[in-house]
Structure 1
């Protein structure tokens, strides 16, 4: 990076000042002469008899936009605690401090500041003297022109035109914006990331120049990027795997061999391996040291997880209170070679025992799975004891999950005058698309989920039925929130949620209650208990119903404290939900409230206080993480 600063000041003046500072600093290292001692002020002589302490304090008098930066980075601050400094030595430090302050102001984009430095005696203060620095930063420099050029294959390849245009369009320090060293560095780094993220992983910055016209407060920026050769994914090379064949790792990772290098695809492959459960650590890199960039090997450095693992967990939710869980995983089942994960969960309202078995994906990414679940849970006014068997195929491909499976359900309601027990067999198809900017803590994008099932009841009269569920969540930008000096900003947003479900069957069909619907709780209608909103029987009992509707509007806004953006956000929301056995009987239940969102180190934390309008009660809801 090169700065060129243009000013009408004589060219010899900066050199003279710099030489003077070096000379005076060097003189301060020589032994003091009697003449130097005689020049010391009476207060300096008196200070020799004081106890060890600060020699001086520094008072920076400047606008808020620059004061904190100067106070934190001025080098003269390092000498305050040297208690043997006299007025002469401090004056010499002040000469260097002026040049240092100008350099710090240049970093912020102020190239024509006016500075006044004074040494003031403060006999009754924290130190005998005070260095007072008064700053008028002058006008901030603005960018007048930006030129981004390319060298190498990217400059000539027509297939890279969109990438070139994207880098130029995404340049973050545009004409008309204030110039600062941080913004300049960020703009160059962001552009380099865009270059190396696709096709050109060895790209670099060849030249960069910030040409500053101090008298006009203008900056002309130029940068040239060298692309290096275009790369394509070659074969996957696995290091560290002992128990599992390399072909299994390849099928889990699904690196798109032969396609153009894409950093996101490499990260997705790494995430697939890391989340498979077979490895404790995974790191994927493209080997750019080979002779053929069109078949660059992908190196997978892995550390295998234990063959079997038991994990004990404790937790708490506002829906179900304290929770205890025991997880057991087996990564290589005898004979099958599948992975099995079994889990026992116990909390106030739910006790469940389940196991999931899954095979290694085939070359197309589809895997065979089977699962079994026994559960006892409070649903509406009843306790439901249920069982479920499921077997089929699924595929997770980028942001889309697909599945199809055969499922058997059995449910028995326990309580006063319960609905009859029921069982059913269904053929199911599921599709989930996640189009978020961040899957763990999204602020933009949307997600859509579809579930379709068709089957027959097995208890009582055997009758056909269908089940349909649609879920959607979306984030709509709602302005930008910045810190006091507008150097940082985050988007406010409106989060919209909607869910609809329907079970279509004859009235006399005995549908298992686990296939019907209940709502209410942390993730649905806040202000109501978990799964307490359902169809109401004539005697007032609440049961799972055949039709479901849920909608939510939530305004999320970054929280600013003391002029700075924090890790917190505020939220206000309205939730509406209804369940009934007939669409015409649906009576919406409304919850309103406010809350906070904290971007914690382990994931987003959601804390809400909601008021259930129909039940006339407040309820606290706490949730960790985001799932869709």
Structure 2
């Protein structure tokens, strides 16, 4: 039995011996640049054998086809005279069975063919459309450039895509010709298009909606009969998705159903989960530890009304806010908002308990988010050891815009906002206030970025003491001047206690370097003041910190040191969590 097993093993080894003696292939290319070498390598029949065994007869057959493969590989790049100048293949010697074949190729690309004439014929009515005009102007290769056929194909496709996106659904190329003279190394490109009739957008039908008929028509950004536009279709998709009513939105134009060049559009939607609950723990040195919870009703009725309730319970801050929204979808995404909010704040400089009511209109305006309405605020407060009580009725307008590719961690982006308030004779005191803030983030390198931030404000008021803390300006804290406690910078009363100011001016610069994909360090310098009149006094601090990019945004742990301030000295710890913009 043992002898039979030995004979089987010997026969198996003898059978496998020729296979084990075969080898893989290494190709070395010289004489041309990396891009052309990669093209040649991709076209070689030898390439798939880089990690496979090749017998000697196979190698002879594979190598024989190399000159033709080199020529064909480089023709699309404009090199019609490419040739294999010298080449060889040999089997490396050694004692092991997995020896390699080494193939050496020295290639001469030759003189490239260049475009000497580029003729693009597009009818004037189509060429006047911005997208089509840009695609035609961007067509490459241009006159004088090497004839790169991949660029030619992409440019031709871009022109056709632009035509179809603007409603020329029957567009076709009537001429697409490349005339190559290999003797003179010249090429002539001739292209002509017949756009055909320009289609228009028709009525939209909705399927799967939970709302009254006609409500979703407000989201449609075109009128029946306007020219077909891929951008308009995308805008409809974005509006419906952004409304937060649906788990699924599909926008499908139906050109086969077109009548008199008018294309109907079918939209299919599926309702999202109607009620959303949220809860979480939080910590910040400005607010202390706490929890937050909320409930949001995506729609209350068949007219699309919304409601949300949010609460926060922290050591130094407690809030509750209820808001009722009546959307008025359209070009400006308008909505009417009514709400009530309660605040209980206890900082190192003030204590306040206030109830607020708000009614405003919000809308998009030239790319900005805007709102305008009335606010009512009433409550008790203590600032700098002095008790106060006020009731204010004032108008408030806001304008804001932000831009950043990734809201969790912005590499390049910015945000600006402005808020204006004005209270009149129905208030405890008349006042006018303007507040501005901005943030700019710029990536200096793949692992480095700089963050610049600025805040400014001004108040004109009859009786400053009648303003509650939330309408006064303070500086200091996690998102103000680090190195100082929250709201500990500002004008002081006779007892030396901070009472806030009429004006604000703060600037900050932070440099971050990430030594791991999600871990980094920071250096920062902050400065500014909350002040009255022109009595600005610089409060400045420097420091360092640690960064961790969490799923909800950067976690920042900063250590700040005030410079030359008799009211503040030593190390100050600041912890904050959340997006930069």
- What is the TM-score with the length of structure 1 in the denominator? 0.70
Which residue is equivalent to 1:86? 55
Instruction: Quickly say closer, same or farther: Cα 1:136–1:73, change in 2 above 3 A.
Output: closer
Q: How many residues align?
A: 554
Gaps of 5+ in 1: 1-45, 482-489, 560-565
Instruction: Quickly say closer, same or farther: Cα 1:417–1:613, change in 2 above 3 A.
Output: closer
Instruction: Quickly say closer, same or farther: Cα 1:516–1:101, change in 2 above 3 A.
Output: farther
Which residue is equivalent to 1:251? 218
Cα deviation digits, residues 389-439 of structure 1 (max 9, x gap):
2112222356233322111234655787366454422112233466x6969
Structure 1 stretch 441-450 or stretch 244-253: which is displaced more?
Answer: 441-450
Q: Distance in 1 between matches of 2:81 and 2:353?
A: 77
* Residue from 443, 455, 458 that aligns with 2:423: 455
Q: Distance in 1 between matches of 2:439 and 2:525?
A: 14
* Residue from 356, 371, 375 that aligns with 1:407: 375
Please state whether the residue corresponding to 2:319 is helix, strand or coil.
Answer: strand
Please state whether the residue corresponding to 1:49 is helix, strand or coil.
Answer: helix
Q: Distance in 2 between matches of 1:594 and 1:70?
A: 51
Which residue is equivalent to 1:580? 531
Q: Distance in 2 between matches of 1:437 and 1:172?
A: 31
Which residue is equivalent to 2:503? 547
> Shift of the alpha carbon at 1:117?
3.6
> Shift of the alpha carbon at 1:98?
4.5
Which residue is equivalent to 1:394? 362
Which residue is equivalent to 1:123? 93
Cα deviation digits, residues 430-471 of structure 1 (max 9, x gap):
33466x696969999986544322114988xx2200111344
Which residue is equivalent to 2:459? 503
Instruction: Quickly say closer, same or farther: Cα 1:299–1:102, change in 2 above 3 A.
Output: same
Cα deviation digits, residues 94-137 of structure 1 (max 9, x gap):
23345444444445555554544422222337832323233446
> Shift of the alpha carbon at 1:473?
6.2
> Shift of the alpha carbon at 1:232?
3.2
The answer on whether the counterparts of 1:317 and 1:623 sit within 8 Å (CA) in structure 2 is yes
Which residue is equivalent to 1:18? none
The answer on whether the counterparts of 2:221 and 2:232 sit within 8 Å (CA) in structure 1 is no
Which residue is equivalent to 1:40? none
Matches within 5 A, 1:333-352: 333=300, 338-345=305-312, 350-352=317-319
Q: Distance in 1 between matches of 2:129 and 2:301?
A: 53
Matches within 5 A, 1:350-361: 350-361=317-328
Q: Distance in 1 between matches of 2:179 and 2:56?
A: 39
> Shift of the alpha carbon at 1:496?
6.9
Instruction: Quickly say closer, same or farther: Cα 1:337–1:190, change in 2 above 3 A.
Output: closer
Cα deviation digits, residues 521-544 of structure 1 (max 9, x gap):
77x557557955742425665555
1:268 matched to 2:268? The reply is no
1:514 matched to 2:466? The reply is no
Which residue is equivalent to 1:469? 435
> Shift of the alpha carbon at 1:301?
1.8
Please state whether the residue corresponding to 2:250 is helix, strand or coil.
Answer: strand
Matches within 5 A, 1:526-537: 527=482, 532=487, 534-537=489-492
Matches within 5 A, 1:237-316: 237-241=205-209, 243-292=210-259, 295-312=262-279
Which residue is equivalent to 2:7? none
Q: Distance in 2 between matches of 1:131 and 1:224?
A: 49
Which residue is equivalent to 2:204? 236
- What is the TM-score with the length of structure 2 in the denominator? 0.74
* Residue from 131, 137, 160 that aligns with 2:128: 160
The answer on whether the counterparts of 1:141 and 1:219 sit within 8 Å (CA) in structure 2 is no
Gaps of 5+ in 2: 1-13, 564-568
